[in-house]
Amino acid sequence: MLIVLVGLIVSIGLHEVGHLVPAKLFGVKVTQYMIGFGRTLFSRRRGETEYGIKLIPLGGYISMIGMYPPSKTGGAARNATTSVFEAMVQEGSAVKTRRDARQAEGGAADDSGDALEGAPGASVPIDQSPDARVEVVSAGATDFPPLDEGERRRFFGSMAEDAREASAETIGEGEDHRAFYRLPVYKRIIIMLGGPFMNLVLAFVFFGISLVAFGAPVQTTTLSMVSECVLPAGSTKTSCDASDPLAPGAAAGLKPGDTIVSIDGTPVSSWAESTEIIRQSSGDALDVVIERGGAEQSVTLTPLLTKRYVLDTANRVVKNADGSPKTEEVGFVGISSTQEVQQQPITATGPMVWQSISGVGDIIIHLPQRMGDVLNAAFGPGERDPNGPISVVGVGRIAGEVAASDQIPFVSKGASLFAVLGSLNIALFVINLVPLMPLDGGHVVTALWEGIRRFFAKLFGRPDPGPIDAAKLMPLTFVVVIFFMAMSAILIYADIVKPANLFG
């Protein structure tokens, strides 16, 4: 559990380093580097940047000046962070300012307190974690008069402008040339991709440690079980009846502990090689050499044509378009292999990373369906999909179960815990590339669109359209953040009341 906690903090910290280093190299003024959210536990200023640690280590951010350009030529740049929603906190301050002005004009001022303070230290860090995170620094009471109907209608429309006005004062005199938005497009993309890139590098490191230093479970050519009979795919029977056909493996005299040496003259060094031959040889009598008790002997094995589930590379049942399990007719003998942990070559890391990326991508693509399954499990009779989305609570629970289990060898525990960290960093990598604000991918897409606009303007001799005002996307950003918050709450609840069972 401690390994996962430390690994999570390291992953968050290095994600932000991935933003921080190129930002400083390109001359952008970075005012804050924070790990965690909530109350600040420790901070120290080095040069122009404040470095600190906050109470809850589930996120992080850096704060750069001028992440959003001014709305008008010659206007002041606005301060921003790589966290999600500092501008929305600044919006709260701006709304209060409007209220105060209205009350002053009407002679009914209320100085009971500030709803949301828009000071430079106030931020709402919801950055690279799949769980949405919100930090609001408030002071005093919040019993202000309600907004009138007109203000409620204009709230979202004026959100970007209010954020500009509230944060313009944070930009120092003569610092506009160090604003993020003034960088060339490619430099802005490098800064925003720096965080996800660090997560990808960490995924390679953690998966490499898991596979190379500890090893991975590998199916061997030694048999662990020999079925007595052949049951159709999907059968729930736990014993054989007299009417059930005898399994070819049992008929040939195979026993648990036998090791397959060759099949029909073809040497077999892996379980995948043996199953491939068997699946393609239904009805053919195969001469199988096995090793039993230190001596080799030959048996005749005739695979039976039967329906079996189609499995993907992750050994999961493939589904048809209607959601039913996909089956195929293949040769079957009714044997299972043993597993042992074997250290893998460094070249095995790449395929493992790609498999994890594909898995997270599949979850994102089918997120509505996956979240529907989670809701059905949390509030209904459904069961959690072990390959479905989980929260950081679920990750911690899995790590705790692995560490506490007496049935899992130390080597397997180490491999599993580092694999969890690798998977966590892949999740951070993939999710942050989703092209929606306020994720890193949203900033990248905005910069690319700006570059395309300027390219075509120059190509056709038109005036430079200038930088894209990403602050106008604040209403959409608000919706995305609310979605992440709701999804996180559901996943955390589900991981508490009905956690996914990865161990059967």
What residues act catalytically?
16
Which residue shows structure tokens 């959003």?
A: 68
| DSSP 3-state of 305 | strand
134/208 Cα distance (integer angstroms): 33
Q: Is the separation of the CB atoms in 180 and 191 below 8 Å?
A: yes
Q: What is the dihedral of CA 39, 42, 46, 49, to 10 degrees?
A: -10
CA separation (Å) from 450 to 183, 454, 465? 12, 6, 8
DSSP β-bridge partners for residue 299: 288
96/487 Cα distance (integer angstroms): 30
Helix axes 410-432, 392-404, angle to 10 degrees: 170
Pairing between β-strand 295-301 and β-strand 286-292 as defined by DSSP bridges: antiparallel
**Backbone region of residue 193 per phi and psi (left: phi > 0; alpha: psi in -120 to 50; beta: other values):** alpha
Phi, psi for 112 (deg, rounded to 5): -70, -20
Give the amino acid at 369: Q
- Give the chain's end-to-end CA distance (angstroms, integer): 20
Peptide bond into 438 cis (omega under 30): yes
Q: What is the dihedral of CA 189, 193, 194, 196, to 10 degrees?
A: 170
Give 284-289 contacts, CB < 8 A, sequence gap 24+.
Answer: 284/331, 287/263, 288/252, 288/260, 288/262, 288/263, 288/264, 289/260, 289/261, 289/262, 289/263
Q: Is the separation of the CB atoms in 439 and 483 below 8 Å?
A: no
62/83 Cα distance (integer angstroms): 7
Q: Is the separation of the CB atoms in 432 and 195 below 8 Å?
A: yes
Q: What is the dihedral of CA 233, 238, 241, 246, to 10 degrees?
A: 60
Q: Is the separation of the CB atoms in 412 and 152 below 8 Å?
A: no
471/469 Cα distance (integer angstroms): 5
Sign of the torsion formed by the C-alpha atoms of 201, 202, 205 and 207? negative
479/485 Cα distance (integer angstroms): 10
167/155 Cα distance (integer angstroms): 17
